């Protein structure tokens, strides 16, 4: 029964990680309200290189927005793990990470549905 319980916990973690990645990817899309300000701030750093071409730059800005969402949303989950003394990610800390990611991606979801 222990192996079945371990498999169930791993499946829960996998589902939470996929949901976290999906929410952060939505926040990096072109319709996200943070995409344009980040692209404007990123443009001087890639100007004059092959990364400055329009298509590549859109991908770079999108990946940058997504990664920053992941990093910023992961801070509360990491602090929770640190305070609790866990050595590996538990379902609760992944839930905190997902909640923070969804909170950061809320304007993008609202823009996607046309509410913003």
DSSP secondary structure, 19-59, as one string: HHHHHHHHHTSTTSTTHHHHHHHHHHHHTTSGGGSHHHHHH
* Model pLDDT, residue 52: 87
Neighbour count for residue 114 (Cβ, 10 Å): 7
* Model pLDDT, residue 32: 92
From CA 73, how far away is CA 55, in angstroms rounded?
Answer: 27
CA distances from 5 to 11, 78, 93 (A): 10, 24, 18
* Model pLDDT, residue 19: 96
Q: What count of Cα atoms within 13 Å lies in the side-chain half-sphere of residue 71?
A: 7
* Model pLDDT, residue 115: 81
Digits of tens for pLDDT over the chain (116 positions)? 688 888 888 888 899 999 999 999 999 999 999 999 999 999 999 988 888 888 999 999 999 999 999 999 999 999 999 998 877 778 889 999 999 999 999 999 999 888 86
* Model pLDDT, residue 1: 62
**Phi-psi region at 47: left, alpha or beta (left = phi > 0; alpha = psi -120 to 50):** beta
* Model pLDDT, residue 9: 84
Q: What is the pTM of this model?
A: 0.87
């Amino acid at each position: 029964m222990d192996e079945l319980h371990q498999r169930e916990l791993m499946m829960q973690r996998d589902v939470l990680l996929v949901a976290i990645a999906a929410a952060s990817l939505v926040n990096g899309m072109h319709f996200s309200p943070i995409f344009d300000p980040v692209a404007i701030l990123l443009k001087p750093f890639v100007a004059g290189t092959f990364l400055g071409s329009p298509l590549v730059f859109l991908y770079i800005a999108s990946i940058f927005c997504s990664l920053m969402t992941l990093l910023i949303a992961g801070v509360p989950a990491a602090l929770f793990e640190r305070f609790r003394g866990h050595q590996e990610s538990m379902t609760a800390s992944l839930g905190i990470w997902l909640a923070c990611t969804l909170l950061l991606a809320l304007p993008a979801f609202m823009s996607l549905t046309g509410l913003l």
